[in-house]
Amino acid sequence: MQTYSKSQLALRNGQDKDEIWVAYKGKIYDVTKSRLWRKGMHYEHWAGQDLTAELADAPHLDNVFDKFECIGILT
């Protein structure tokens, strides 16, 4: 599986490139097709970041990432 740095992930924020990616527990997920991530923002969360620490405040469990394709590993 492809590896990506935090700076590469940051470019997939819905603003700089067409892809919208987020990281969780070391894996990177493509959330581009999700209507909830339009323009790179989902409630107070921004795409292009590692959301591992932020999930504790989310109203859902980590299985929400099962809906999305894991496209890489965060290094």
Report which of 10, 22, 75 is spatially closest to residue 53, judged by C-alpha positions. 22
Q: Which pLDDT does position 59 carry in this prediction? A: 72
- Give residue limits of the domains in the chain: 3-74
Q: Which pLDDT does position 26 carry in this prediction? A: 98
Q: Which CATH superfamily is domain 3-74 in?
A: Cytochrome b5-like heme/steroid binding domain (3.10.120.10)
Residue 75 has which token pair?
């290094």
pLDDT tens-place string over residues 5-51: 999 999 999 998 889 999 999 999 999 999 999 889 888 889 999 99
Burial of 45 (0-12, 13-18, 19+ CB in 10 A): middle
Report which of 24, 31, 26, 29 is spatially closest to residue 56, judged by C-alpha positions. 24
Inform me whether the pLDDT recorded for 60 exceeds 80.
Answer: no
Residue 15 has which token pair?
């603003």
